[in-house]
Amino acid sequence: MYQPYPSAGQPVDLLRPPALAPAPVLTAVKLMYAGAAVSTVPLIIALAFAGDSKAYHLRYLGHSLTAAQVSQWRPLIITVVIAFGLVVPALWLWMARANGQGRSWARILSTVLLVLATLQLAGNNGVVLVLCAAVTWLIGLAAVWQLWRPASSAFFKPQGVV
């Protein structure tokens, strides 16, 4: 069997495989994947109504745009909606991966993002968007709770600490 040559004077037995994530961390990662899926719903809704951007701008934002102006701005509006709509699912996926790898900063950042999501809850309009935000927030709460359980804490300790 091949054993790697120890570099920088480290004994071979210190080069151990990474610890397997405990069940609460695996549950949190699965919840984060679900959060990524649910957080795409507002993007899908926004894209479904992107063709009716003239009515949206005139009725909801109070802009006085002509049909020609709306047609001119439509590609930019759709691009911005897609870009901003993909940020939240990307954050969910990034946090799922980092937490699954035992990165302690990811557990802290996930908690901070949950606090920001709590502040954002009041800013939604419309039944569907409020429902999506509430479901996403509940998923985030469950995931963060799993990350801070005692069984998870040992997994997030730095490798050098015993």
pLDDT in tens, 144-155: 999 999 999 889
- pLDDT band of residue 34 (cuts 50, 70, 90) is very high
Whole-number pLDDT of residue 72: 79
Q: Is the pLDDT of residue 122 over 70?
A: yes
Cα 127 to chain centroid distance, Å, stands at 22
CB 83 within 8 A of CB 40: no
Q: Is 8 left (phi over 0), alpha (psi -120 to 50) or beta?
A: left
